[in-house]
Amino acid sequence: QQQVKQSPQSLIVQKGGISIINCAYENTAFDYFPWYQQFPGKGPALLIAIRPDVSEKKEGRFTISFNKSAKQFSLHIMDSQPGDSATYFCAASGSNQGGKLIFGQGTELSVKP
């Protein structure tokens, strides 16, 4: 019930294309869903986050879509660039868990020029 399942494990996209990464969760107490970007040798960096009271949030080229009934959320990267090549993690936490983040397994994104 504490798991967050992420897919795909790896993704190859052409420059200018749309990258889509999906996550699913079981714990209905989760109420905060961030996405992190991690480059080799670096720690995860917060990209964008959403709460269940909205179904979509957009920041620049990054969009989170959230489906509360299906307990799924996804990250869309529009106009993908080679500089977006990194590992992406979804995560979830609940207000009753004091901010502890449960991470997905990660998606390694490669954007080809």
Partner 1 sequence: DAGVTQSPTHLIKTRGQQVTLRCSPKSGHDTVSWYQQALGQGPQFIFQYYEEEERQRGNFPDRFSGHQFPNYSSELNVNALLLGDSALYLCASSTWDRDGYTFGSGTRLTVV
Contacting positions for partner 1 (CB under 8 A): 6, 32, 34, 36, 41-46, 49, 89, 91, 93, 97-106
Q: Encoding tokens for residue 73?
A: 């959320």
Candidates 3, 1, 12, 2; CA nearest to 107 is 12
Q: How far apart are CA 71 and CA 55, in angstroms?
A: 12
For the chain, the distance separating the N- and C-terminal CA atoms, rounded to the nearest angstrom, is: 40
Q: How far is the CB of 100 from partner 1 (least distance, A)?
A: 5
- Using the minimum distance from each CB to partner 1, give the nearer residue, 106 or 109: 106
CB of 47 to partner 1, least distance (A): 11
How far apart are CB 92 and partner 1 at their closest, in Å?
11
